[in-house]
Structure 1
Amino acid sequence: MNRLFMVCAAALFLACTDIPEGLCDDDSACLPGLRCQEGVCAGCAGDDACQAWEMCAADRRCALREGMCATNAQCKTWESCGASHTCELVEGFCLSGSDCGAHENCDESTKQCVLQDGRCNSASNCGSSYLWAPSCDADNWCRTAPSSGNDVLIWGTLSEGSCNHDGISSVMSPTRVQVGFGCYSSSDRDAAFVSPSGRVYYLDGEEKPKRVKIFVPDTFSSEDGVRSYPFNGSRNDTLVPAPACSATDDVSSFIMQAGTGAIAYTCSSHTGPITYYDRAGAVVVSGFRVLAWNASGYMLGARDTSKLHLLTPERSERLVSGLPDRFIDSISVVDVRAHSTGFMMAVRRQVTNTLELWRIDHEGVATFDGTYGAVPENANPTTAGVLDMTGALYSESLLTTGAHPDIIVRRRPDNTVGTIIYSEDSAPASVNYGSNYERLFNFLHISILFTGP
C-alpha cells in the first residue's frame, strides 16, 4: 500500500513539475539532472538533494556548480576532472611558463611545455645540425664541443669544381657536414677558426667589405621533393663588429684567443705597424704579428722575419730562447696552437726536410718535443699541416695508388709512420647531389684544414 502511494505521489509530482516520469535502478537510467529515488526518477527540491558539486536549478534538476565538473569531458582538453570535482591541469600541460621547467616555455595554442632554443631534456632534443654529436647537460643546455682530432676541420665542398657548394666537417666524420656559404666565404688557412664552444668564425669574402662572421648552418632548400644547396647561405651568418675598420675597409686577418673565443682583427688599409683591435675598436696589440693567443693572455708572434717573441698579458716582451741558431733560416713554422702552459709549434727543418714539434712556455723558453714520422708509403710526402689540441699533425695528401684520391694523414711527434684517417675512397657511391642531398660527404677539392686557436 505504501509503495503504491509513493509511486502515485512521485508520478503526480513529476506531472506537476513537467518532468517526464520514469522508473530506475540508479541515476544512470534518469534524464540529466534527475536522481533515482526509491526506483523513480525524481527532480530535486533543494541543493541538498544533489551531489556536493551540484546545485538544484530552477527547473528542479541538479546542475553543475560554476567551476565544478563531474567528468573529464566537462573540462578543457589540457585538464581532467579531479577528486575535488574541479578541472585540474594534466601533467605535461601548462597555463603559463610557471607550470613548465626553467628551460621551457608554455605554448599558447597547445598549452604544452615546449623547449626553449638550444635547451633539452635529452640529447635527442638537440637535433643533428651539429658538427659533433651533442649532449644534454645537467642544466638542460645542448652542448657540442670538439675533442682531440675532432677539433681539426675540413673546409671542403659537396661538388668538386663548384665555388658555391662549400661544406665544413670534422676530419673524423666527413659525412656530418654543415652547409651555407657563398663562393668567396673563405680563402686561406688563417681565415677560419673553430671557437672553444664549437662555433665556426670565418672571414667572409662574399660581401664587401670583408668581415668576420659566425657561421649559422643552413638547411637544404626543397621544391617538389628536390633538394638543393641553400642560395646565399652566408646572409644569415652573424656579423662580428669591426669598428676600427672604415665602412670601405676590409678586415684583412684575425686571431682567436683560446679559452675565451675572443678575437682581434687587423684592417687592410691601415699603414704603419700591424695593429690588432677588439670588437669595441680598442687596440689589443700593435707592432707584433700574432701567431697564437692562449687562454692566459700570452701571445706568440714576431716583430720581424728572423725572431720569435712572447708577449705577456701585460704586453711585456720576451725573445724566445732555446731554438736552433739562425731559427728562421733553418726552420720554418708550419702551425702554432695555444696551450694551457704556453704554445705548441710544428716546424720544418729545411736542410733535412723533417717535421718537429716544439713547446714554448710562459717564460719564452722553447724545448724540443719530438719528430713527426713519415707519411705512409702509399701517400705523397707533405710538409704542411695543422695541429690538433694534443700536438698531432694533420696534412692533406694524395694516394699514389688507384685513382689517386685525396687523403688526410695524421702524424704524432714520436717518429712513427703516420695514419690515413680520411680518404675520398670512403665516400658512398651516391652522395650529395646524386642522393638528393640525403647522404653527404665532404670532399677536399681546393680545400683547407682549420682548427681552434
Structure 2
Amino acid sequence: MVGVVLLLTACTSTSEGLCESAKDCLPGLSCQEGVCVGCGGDGECNAWEACTTDRRCELRAGRCAKNAHCEAWETCNADNTCVLAASACTSSADCKAHETCDETQKLCLLQEGRCNSNTDCESGYLWAATCDADNRCHSEPVAGNDVLIWGTLSEGACYRDAIASVLSPSRVQVGFGCGAGRPDATVSPSGRIYYVDDGMGPNRLRVFVPDGFPIKDGAHTYPDEGFKNDPVVPTPGCPADVGIRTFIMQAGTGSIIYNCTEDKAGWRYYDTHGAVVTDQQYPVAWNAENYLLIRGDYGTASVQAPDRTTVLPVVGLPDRWAYIDARADSTGFRMALTDSSSTSRQQLWHISNQGQATLVGTYGAYPEHALSYAGGGGVLDNAGALVAQSSRDVSTVDLVIRRTPDGAPGVIIYAEDESPAKVNWQADYKVNFIFMHGSYLFAGP
C-alpha cells in the first residue's frame, strides 16, 4: 500500500507521465522509478543546473551540457561552462599579440602580414612562404631557386610586365610601367626587388611593391601606373636631371652603389649618400666582406679591397676567357666564364678575396632539343648553376635551362608551352603564367 501512495504522490505532483529513461520526459524532469518527476531543490539537479519554481532543472547562466547551449563564439568545456572558442574574442585582449578582434564576428583576425601557420602565407609571394616564430610570413628561395624572370603576361606588351621565379611561373607579381627594370634588376637579401625604372624621365632606382589586379567593369585588369607606389632609392651622386645607368647590391647587407648615365667612362660608382665608392672599371659583384670583383677589358679581373686603394689582380684564370656572370659568396666570389683559350667550354670559377682563382667545374651540355645560342650566357643561381634562356629546336617556344658545374647534362626548368590554355587576362587574372617575350633573367647579389 505504501508503494501505491508514493506512486500516486509522484503522479499528483507531476503530470508528465511514465518513462523508461530521462529522454522520455520533458526537459528539466528526471525519470525515477518509471515516472517523470520534477526536482525538489538544486541538490537534485546537476551542478551546472538550478531547480526552478516549476520544479524543472534548468541550466545556470553561463553553464552548459553541450556546445549548442552556448553562444556561437563559445564552446562548452569539461566543467560545463561556456568559454570563448579558439580564435574567438570579445575584445583584442582575448587575441594574440599579432591578431585583432573583430567584435562583430567575435573572431580574432590576423593583422596585416602576420600568420599562425604556413597556410596563412599561401599567396602574394614569389616563393612558397612559411610562418616564422614571430608569426610573420617569410619567403626566400632555397638553393637553386633564386633566379627570376622579368617577363610579361601578354607577349609583346610592356604594359603587362610581371616577375616570377623561374621554377614557379604561375606565381606572378605585377605593377610596373613600360620600360621598368629592363635590363637591370636585383633580388635583395631580404627578398625585395630593386630595379631601374626608365619609363618616365631620368632613370630612377626603385623598390618594387607588388600590386593587385583591380576590378574594372566587372573584370580584373592589370594595374595602371603600378610603379607609383614603388619607393625611389636616393641617388644623390647623379644630378637631379640625370638618371642612373646601373647599380650593384652588396651581399648580406643589401647596400647599393650605382653610376650615372652621364658618366661616359661608365665605372664611377656612388653610395646612397653621394660618395664615390669605386672608380675601377666594371665592378660586377660585391660581397658581405666589402670586397669588390672588378671585370676589366681583354679578359682580366681584379679584386678591390675594403680600403678601396688596394687592387689585387686575379690570377689563375684561363689565358683567354669571356665573362658570363658573377656572384658573391662567403669566401669571395663565383664567376661563370667561357674558356676561349681551349674549346669554348663554360666553367665556374671561385675567386678568393685575395684574387686567387680556382676552377670549380665545367658546365654540361644543353639538353636535347634545346638550342644553345652563340656566346652562351646566363645567370648564376645561389648554388652555382648557370641558368640561361633557350628555345626548342623545332619551334620558337621559349625555354630556361639549368646546368650544374659537375658536367651533367642540363635540364629544362621552364617551358613556355606548359602554360594552361587560358591564362592571365583570358582567365580574368585568376590563373596566371609568365611569358618570356622580350624578357630576361636576374637573381641576387
Normalised-by-shorter TM-score class: 0.7 to 0.9
Over 3 Å counting, the alpha-carbon distance change for 1:363 and 1:76 in structure 2 is same
Aligned partners of 1:241, 1:297: CA distance in 2, in Å? 21
After alignment, is 246-255 or 281-290 more displaced? 281-290
Residue 426, structure 1, aligned to residue 418, structure 2: yes
Q: Is the 8 A contact 1:387 1:393 kept in 2?
A: yes
Query: Which of the two has higher C-alpha Rg?
Result: 1
Residue 366, structure 1, aligned to residue 357, structure 2: yes
Measured after TM superposition, the shift of residue 69 of structure 1 is 11
Aligned partners of 1:204, 1:87: CA distance in 2, in Å? 58
Q: Is the 8 A contact 1:331 1:350 kept in 2?
A: yes
Q: Is the 8 A contact 2:237 2:270 kept in 1?
A: no
* 2:442 aligned residue: 450
TM-score (norm 2): 0.77
The one-letter code of the counterpart of 2:150 is: W
Unaligned runs of 5+ in 2: 1-14, 17-60
Q: Is the 8 A contact 1:294 1:338 kept in 2?
A: yes
Over 3 Å counting, the alpha-carbon distance change for 1:109 and 1:210 in structure 2 is farther
**Aligned partner (choices 348, 354, 357) of residue 357 of structure 1:** 348
* 2:190 aligned residue: 197
* 1:323 aligned residue: 316
**Aligned partner (choices 264, 267, 274) of residue 268 of structure 2:** 274
Measured after TM superposition, the shift of residue 124 of structure 1 is 1.4
* 1:345 aligned residue: 335
The one-letter code of the counterpart of 1:437 is: Y
* 1:438 aligned residue: 430
Over 3 Å counting, the alpha-carbon distance change for 1:402 and 1:369 in structure 2 is same
Deviation digits for residues 7-35 of structure 1, max 9, x if unmatched?
xxxxxxxxxxxxxxxx99xxxxxxxxxxx
Secondary structure of the residue aligned to 2:182 is: coil
* 2:305 aligned residue: 312
Deviation digits for residues 156-193 of structure 1, max 9, x if unmatched?
111111121111111112122111111111221xx101
Aligned partners of 1:108, 1:274: CA distance in 2, in Å? 58
* 1:375 aligned residue: 366
**Aligned partner (choices 170, 179, 187) of residue 184 of structure 1:** 179
Over 3 Å counting, the alpha-carbon distance change for 1:99 and 1:397 in structure 2 is same
Over 3 Å counting, the alpha-carbon distance change for 1:305 and 1:211 in structure 2 is farther
Over 3 Å counting, the alpha-carbon distance change for 1:351 and 1:312 in structure 2 is closer
Aligned partners of 1:446, 1:277: CA distance in 2, in Å? 31
Aligned partners of 1:143, 1:274: CA distance in 2, in Å? 36
Measured after TM superposition, the shift of residue 340 of structure 1 is 0.7
Over 3 Å counting, the alpha-carbon distance change for 1:448 and 1:94 in structure 2 is same
Aligned partners of 1:78, 1:174: CA distance in 2, in Å? 41
Aligned partners of 2:249, 2:200: CA distance in 1, in Å? 22
Measured after TM superposition, the shift of residue 299 of structure 1 is 1.4
Q: Is the 8 A contact 1:382 1:396 kept in 2?
A: no
After alignment, is 383-392 or 237-246 more displaced? 237-246
Measured after TM superposition, the shift of residue 109 of structure 1 is 4.7
Deviation digits for residues 233-292 of structure 1, max 9, x if unmatched?
2122232232333332212211111122222222334578613212xx152612124211
The total of aligned residue pairs comes to 428
The one-letter code of the counterpart of 1:397 is: S
Q: Is the 8 A contact 1:320 1:366 kept in 2?
A: no
After alignment, is 371-380 or 355-364 more displaced? 371-380
Q: Is the 8 A contact 2:317 2:358 kept in 1?
A: no
Measured after TM superposition, the shift of residue 76 of structure 1 is 9.2
Measured after TM superposition, the shift of residue 373 of structure 1 is 2.3
Unaligned runs of 5+ in 1: 1-22, 25-66
Aligned partners of 2:322, 2:143: CA distance in 1, in Å? 25
* 2:230 aligned residue: 237
Measured after TM superposition, the shift of residue 208 of structure 1 is 2.7
Secondary structure of the residue aligned to 1:238 is: coil
The one-letter code of the counterpart of 1:392 is: A
Measured after TM superposition, the shift of residue 446 of structure 1 is 0.9
Measured after TM superposition, the shift of residue 408 of structure 1 is 1.3
Aligned partners of 1:373, 1:402: CA distance in 2, in Å? 22
Over 3 Å counting, the alpha-carbon distance change for 1:80 and 1:441 in structure 2 is closer
* 1:11 aligned residue: none
* 1:119 aligned residue: 114
Show the 5 A alignment for 1:86-235. Answer: 92-107=87-102, 109-188=104-183, 191-235=184-228
